[in-house]
A and B are shown apart, each in its own frame.
Chain A
C-alpha cells in the first residue's frame, strides 16, 4: 500500500498545479484587460504607429485572448517569460537576479519569526495569567497592530539612525566584491571565505528581516499561546503532571507538540505572506530584491515582468505550503498513520 505521506504529497502537488494554472489565467487576463497598449508603453511616445503595430504582432497582441494565453503557456513551459520592457532583458534573467535577495530576506525573517514567536508563545502559555504572559501579550499585540513597513521605518530610525548599530540600507557595503554563486550573499560570502563580508551582509540583513518578522512573531506567539492554553486542559497534560515531569519539560514537549500542529498551517501562511510584505520593507531599506523589482515593473506596466513576478511569488507560496503540509504530516501521527486521506 502507498504510504499516506506520499499520497498526501501527490495530492498537494496536483492541487498546487491547478492553483498555479488558475493564477496564471487570472494574472494573464488582468494584464490583458487593463486599459493601455503595452506595445505603445514599451516603445514610448515617439514611436511610429508602424513600429507599434510591428511590436503588437510580435507580442501576439492582435490574436484572441485564448490564443494569446496559449502562446504564454507554451513560452512559460519552455522557461521563457518574455522580455522585460523595463530592463530590456529576459524576465527570467531579472528574476534570477532579484529573487535570491528576497528569498534570503524572507527566509531569514521566517527563521526569526519561528525562533522568537514559538518560545514566546510557550512562555506565555506556561505562565498563563502571570506577568510573563501579560508582557508577551502586550508585546505581541503591539507587533501585530502595525504593518511591517511601519516597523521598517521605526527600526531604521532607532537602530540605524539614532543608534547606528546597523547599516541603514542595502545588502552589503560597496567595498566588498563577492563572486555571485547562489545569489544569497550570506552564503556567497561564506563560500568566498570572507568572514568580514559575511558579517557585513548579515548586519545589513538584521533590520529588514526583523521588520518583516515582527508581526509574524506576534502572530506565531499568540497562536501558539492560544493552542497551548487549550492543550493544557487536556487529560494527557494532567497525566504528565501526575507523573511529576518538570513544568518546563511538560511545556516544551507534552503541550507544545500537540499545539504546534494547528499553529503550523497559519505560521506557514504568515511566512508566505512575508513575500507580499517584503514589497514595502524592501522599498524602505533599498533592498535590491524581487519585490522592489515588482513595484518598479507594476508602475511601468511592464506586463511580461509583472506576470513573471506574480507567477514566481505564487510558486513560492505553493512550495511553502507543501513544505508546511509535509511538516504537519511528519508531526501529526494521525495523518502519518491514517488509512484514509485526512487532508
Chain B
C-alpha cells in the first residue's frame, strides 16, 4: 500500500548559543491514505513538533535543525523551498488546534476567515461561492443556522461551536491529511467527546487521513486505527490500536495506560517520572491486517 505520509529517521534539535537540545531522536512513522493514526505521549515528548515539521512550519525556524525524510505524496517536504511547502498547507494538509476560540482571529468574522481559507485552494473563488461552500461545511458539522455563525466573531460563539467551525474549516479544502494537535483539550469533557465523534464521522466521510496527537489513551482508543507511542523523542511502541491495547508490551506504554483517569475513582495511578525500562527499544506490532 502506498503511504500518504512517510517519515523516516526524523531528528530535530534546537541550537542555542552554547547548547544544543535534542528533541527528536530519529522517529519513523507512516500514514496511509484515509488512515487514522494517533501519536501518543506526554507533553514534551515531541508530539507537537512532529506535527509542525510535517506542516513545514518548524523548517522556517532558524534555530531548528532537522534531518531525516518527511515524504508527503511522494515528495520530500524537507527538500522543498519555503514557497512550495507553504503551498501544501491549508490545501493538501490542514491542522486543528487545542483551543478553538483563541485559534480563530478575533477581528474577522468566521465567514471572512472561511473565504480566506477557501481561497487558498482557488485564489479567484467568488465570495458568494465561498460562503455557499462554508454554509455547506457548517451544515455538515451540524451547526444550526450557519448564516448567523458566518456573520459572527469567534468570541460570540461557544467553545464547542468554535471547535465545529475549526473542523469545518480544516476540511473545507478537502485536504488529504489532517493534523489534530490535542483537539479540544481546552473544552470541557462532554463537548470534547461530541466534537471528536463529529470529527471521526467527518474524516470517515471525506476519506481524510488523520494524525491525531494526544496524551489521552482513552480518546485515542476510540479514534485511531493505529497508534504510535512516543517517549522523549523516540517511538517506543507502535501497532494497530486493538493490538496495543490488548497487549501493551513496552514499559512506558503500560505506564501510560495505567495513567488513564477512571471515573470509578481510586485516584490517579502513579507514573514514575523516568524509568530505565522506558528507554527500551521500540516494539512494533506490525501493520493493520
Contact = CB atoms under 8 A, between A and B. Distances in A.
Nearest to B101: A235
Contacts of A131: none
Interface string A317-343: 000000000000001111001000000
B90 A234 contact: no
A245 B116 contact: yes
Interface in A253-292: 254, 257-258, 261
B88 to A, nearest CB: 7
Contact of A238 (B88, B97, B108): B97
B3 interface: no
A241 B90 CA distance: 9
B89 A242 contact: yes
Nearest to A242: B95
Nearest to B155: A334
B104 interface: yes
Contact of A240 (B105, B106, B156): B105
A235 B103 contact: yes
Interface string B158-179: 0000000000000000000000
A235 B86 CA distance: 18
A62 B98 CA distance: 74
Given A234-B102, A337-B153, A244 B107 contact: no
B153 A333 contact: yes
A244 B91 contact: yes
Contact of A244 (B106, B120, B153): B120
Interface string A225-242: 000000000111011111
Contacts of A257: 105, 107-108
B90 A244 contact: yes
A244 B86 contact: yes
Contacts, number: 67
B153 A239 contact: no
Contacts of A246: 86
B271 interface: no
Contacts of A261: 107
A166 B106 CA distance: 45
B89 A235 contact: no
A243 interface: yes
A68 to B, nearest CB: 51
Interface string B73-101: 00000000000001111110011011100
A243 B105 contact: no
Contacts of B132: none
B141 interface: no
B97 A243 contact: no
A242 B173 CA distance: 13
Nearest to B56: A244
Contacts of A332: 107
B89 A243 contact: yes
Contacts of B126: none
Contact of B106 (A241, A243, A333): A333
A239 B97 contact: yes
Contacts of B94: 242-243
Interface in B107-121: 107-109, 116-117, 120
B107 A258 contact: yes
Given A235-B97, A236-B102, A334-B155, A245 B107 contact: no
A254 B105 CA distance: 7
Contacts of A258: 105-107
Contacts of B120: 243-245
A334 B90 CA distance: 27
B103 A241 contact: no
Most chain B CB within 10 A, of A238, A242, A254, A257, is at: A242
A331 B107 contact: yes
B35 to A, nearest CB: 21
A163 B88 CA distance: 53
A246 to B, nearest CB: 7
Given A258-B105, A333-B107, A244 B89 contact: yes
A109 to B, nearest CB: 28
28 contacts: A235-B98, A235-B102, A236-B106, A238-B97, A239-B95, A239-B97, A239-B103, A239-B104, A239-B105, A240-B105, A241-B57, A242-B90, A243-B90, A243-B116, A243-B117, A243-B120, A244-B86, A244-B87, A244-B88, A244-B89, A245-B116, A257-B108, A258-B105, A258-B107, A331-B107, A333-B109, A333-B153, A333-B155
Interface of B: 55, 57, 86-91, 94-95, 97-99, 102-109, 116-117, 120, 153, 155-156
